[in-house]
Chains A and B, each alone.
Chain A
Amino acid sequence: MAEVYISGKYVGTVDNAKEFIDQIKTERRLGNLPIDLNIQYDEDYDQVIIETSKGRVSRPLILVKDGKPLLTERHLQQLEKNEISWNDLVSQGIVEYLDASEEENALVAFYAEELTPEHNYLEVAPLAMVGFVTSLVPFGQHNQGVRMIQGSKNQKQAMGIYMANFHQRLDMDVHLLHYPQKPIVKTIMHDISNYEKHAAGQNLVVAIMAFEGYNIEDAIIVNKASIDRGMGRSTYYRPVFAEELRYSGGLTDKICIPDKDVSGYRSEKEYRLLEEDGIVFTEAVVKEGDVVIGKVSPPRFLSAIEDYTLGGTSRRESSVALKHGEQGIIDMVVLTETEAGNRLVAVKVREPKIPEIGDKFTSRHGQKGVIGMIYNEEDMPFTASGIKPDIIFSPHSVPSRMTVAHLIELLAGKVGALAGRYIDGTMFDSEKPEDLRKELLKLGFRDDGSEVMYDPVTGKRYLARIFVGDMYYLRLKHIVANKMHARARGPVQLLTRQPTEGKAREGGLRLGEMEKDTFVAHGASLLLKERFSSDSTVIPVCNNCGLIGIHDYRKDKVYCPVCGDKADIRFVEVSYAFKLLLDELKSLYVHPKLKLKLKY
């Protein structure tokens, strides 16, 4: 008597659970029950669990009967001729989708050769156990699992050609690799997904060696000549928008070159790139601060004074300019309308990004790193045949991470490049590394891929042979130039007069609570004071009542709001935040009095 649950709800019992389950499965295979219905028999609790709910992850498996897969040669031929499709296999009950619970009762064979009469399912392909991006890692069966996950995450951030119509799109924050290449070492997934149409990397000559110390801690050394020849070059696209908004009272924004009497007028130099319509021309070279779209808006508040004094409606400057640190070339100008019917101007700015120190690169095995140094070609070590590597990768990155496939790919890439063919590195179905080594030997190289190399400075032979090969490297979208930021002086917040936060607002780098403590622990009292003096102000304090006084600059008079003119006003230097605290206390009906005392 097994209990039966459907989607977690108890529905009744069955006498013979096994028979019942077989019956359900047969019905499912016949198409009388949905294919995403899964059934499990839990022997420990004597329960039959049927699941039909959403959100379960299920995967396809080939059915096996008496040790023989139901999928036959004939099916494969038909599939190749396009006579039948995958869905036909599913509806014929040759392929079945199992979820995690039904898998508990299944014995799945990895390869067809391993089938025994006990098996009831066969894996469609061993590769199917990983996702799409992970299956792009060649020789993945030799890697540690964690590295496969990290490598997959890195691949998603790689530059490439993300869409064929990129030149007429206005996407935010786009990187485009200039010379993408097909990987020499590829997997079946590269073919299936048409990877060559949107490749995201380049085949580079990589040497695994420590060199001059600039590739410690996952950094890589790059050959300057390689960069000059186009390695890792990319373009960065960023759109800028301006909309002619409508306001109440029939007022609208206007896209034009602002008049000089507009409040907040920048300077003629900053508007120089605008054409008569107030929009930059294409191929204009723009720098930070340059206005890209000129725009004027009606005043924010229709205050009475402004209306009378200036006669007409005073207008406010609201042009779109390049922000701090931005530069580029105007790639495209688009004039269109928003859904609300407002005029919309979009300008695409393009900027070439040449690899520089600090830019991030990765192989497909989670071996990411930033450029630590760019050497001139003549300063790079070379092999006996005169090959100079594009990249020097540190050997210390390998042992602890156990990315064996990284090394195999390097070897396979070398074979592929020398033999002039693509290497199949499909996970679990790859070409055998032993065979590749034999082929390399036939090609006239050492079978382990190592070569004699020479020191570029002395010309002496290195005592150790260096492992050199060819592998697929990806440039990642994290570019220093977009992230680098520093500030000495700059904008402050209105409320606290402390520096703003974040790169976009040209903010400062906060010296926080714990950092402050380090100064205190060192007893660096005056340094601490100086570091926190960003909002230092001088306030007038009434010595009678202890309240903050008023300093009238126009009349050059100081007085106290309570004690009047006769008050004894002293000037005290405090942080503006403290003055704000006093003000906020007053708003709480707490009267904070300052009792002044001479310090020395």
Chain B
Amino acid sequence: MTGKEKMLEKSEFKEFEKKLPKKVFETALQEFATLPKSKQKKAMELLVKQYLNSLAEPGECVGLVTAQSIGEPGTQMTLNTFHFAGVSEMNVTTGLPRLIEILDARKSISTAMMTIYLKKPYSEGKDLDVIARKLKAMHMEEFIEEISVDIASLQLRLKIKKQKLGDYDLRMDKISRILKKNFKNFDFKVDNEFIIAKPLTREDPLKQLYRLRERVKTVFVSGVKGIKYVLPVKREGEYVILTSGTNLKEVLNLEFVDGSRTRTNDILEVESILGVEAARQAIVDEVYDIIQRQGLNVDVRHILLVADTMCFNGKVQGVTRYGIVKEKPSVLARASFETPIRHFVEASVLGEIDSLNSVLENVMINQPIPIGTGLPRLVMKREEK
């Protein structure tokens, strides 16, 4: 819908308003405005019928259908798992390993990456290299050309790549200040293209110097921590920066970043910074993306259900025995998933009661399952005597 178009009068179709969800109803009001007057009502009636048809019926086993709908194409995925390695842009974990990673809600993911969108004019390519440099986490290692330990004068001499320093808008004295902050026991002096480190204490100076030689390489200098690799690409007419490694919090604080579109693939990071609702959406997007890339076709609603199940407790939980399975109320259901003895022992210590309400328990005791035809009950009024 663009701009203000003709819209049907709400009051005229009041009878349908309650039968349809708000969004569907409003779209219908707009769309049907182009129809001739005589057919509008008929169209609404048809819409309601279609809408009711597309609803899941009471007692429909949506969870299991979801499991089957994701599981069946999933078996095909195992065969073409690593096909995407090194094709374009970066090496990314996709396919089944990535899917398992998301559904398990792993703390550390194998390839964390961000897609950073930029505000105008930067999105049109302005200062792209400067932005890229500002993002990438730089460590001393990358600026040092040569390290030598001067045994005679008990010094550590760091030869700095001055050219590169200039690229990153840094100066020698800034570097020496950063180093001083990190290594309080040393004195750092700038000498042309060298930085000379001298231990302040007399205690075994040589050992200190050798230790420093290794540790100095890992000192964080500039950029955003955690961003290991930066790759600007042009996507749909604008410049976007892909990164390996994530740091959503700091990236969102940068003034040139379009925070509303920037995203990371680390779901738990999304949860901690933007909340569960965002994490839920992140799960949906990521899973859907994987399935699409594999050339498979799974309805979004299945994925939505999985994402909802993972998030409905207010925090992201994996589909594991420590995650959502742990939340199941039934002892038998939990025991039949994994580690049965532990669950039985814990349940007996706590004196848990299993009310045998769900499918699994009723299969175990050979009773009709409360799904589909097993769900409705006949209620009768007792004849008064």
Contacts and interface: CB of A to CB of B under 8 A. Distances in A.
Contacts of B365: 574-575, 578
Interface residues of B, number: 28
A349 B364 CA distance: 45
Given A521-B65, A525-B373, A595-B353, A516 B366 contact: no
A520 B371 contact: yes
Contacts of A528: 363, 368-369
Contacts of B353: 595
A520 B63 CA distance: 10
A525 B368 contact: yes
Given A520-B64, A585-B344, A525 B372 contact: yes
B366 A573 contact: yes
Interface string A571-597: 001110110010001001011000100
Contacts, number: 74
Contact of B364 (A525, A526, A575, A585): A575
Contacts of B371: 520, 523, 525
A590 B372 contact: no
B345 A578 contact: no
B364 A578 contact: yes
B267 to A, nearest CB: 28
B59 interface: yes
B373 A578 contact: no
A249 B25 CA distance: 91
Contacts of A525: 368-375
Interface stretch (A54-62, A170-178, A264-272, A529-537): A529-537
B301 to A, nearest CB: 15
Contacts of A575: 364-366
A523 to B, nearest CB: 2
Contact of A574 (B60, B61, B366): B366
Nearest to A516: B363
A275 interface: no
A175 to B, nearest CB: 37
A452 to B, nearest CB: 47
A524 B64 contact: no
B319 interface: no
Interface in B65-114: 65, 67-68
B348 A520 contact: no
B367 A520 contact: no
B144 interface: no
A533 B366 contact: yes
B61 A521 contact: yes
Contact of B359 (A520, A533, A577, A595): A520
A517 interface: yes
A446 to B, nearest CB: 45
Given A520-B369, A523-B373, A590 B345 contact: yes
Contacts of B364: 575, 577-578, 581
A81 interface: no
Contacts of B61: 520-521, 523
A483 interface: no
B64 A529 contact: no
B348 A522 contact: no
A588 B366 CA distance: 23
B366 A521 contact: no
5 contacts: A518-B68, A522-B372, A573-B366, A578-B364, A600-B377
Interface of A: 516-518, 520-526, 528-529, 532-533, 535-536, 573-575, 577-578, 581, 585, 588, 590-591, 595, 600
Interface of B: 59-61, 64-65, 67-68, 341, 344-345, 348, 353, 359, 363-375, 377-378
The 4 A-B pairs with the shortest beta carbon distances in the complex, nearest first, are A523-B372, A525-B374, A575-B366, A590-B348
Given A528-B368, A529-B368, A600-B378, 8 more contacts: A520-B61, A520-B372, A523-B371, A523-B374, A525-B369, A528-B369, A574-B366, A578-B366
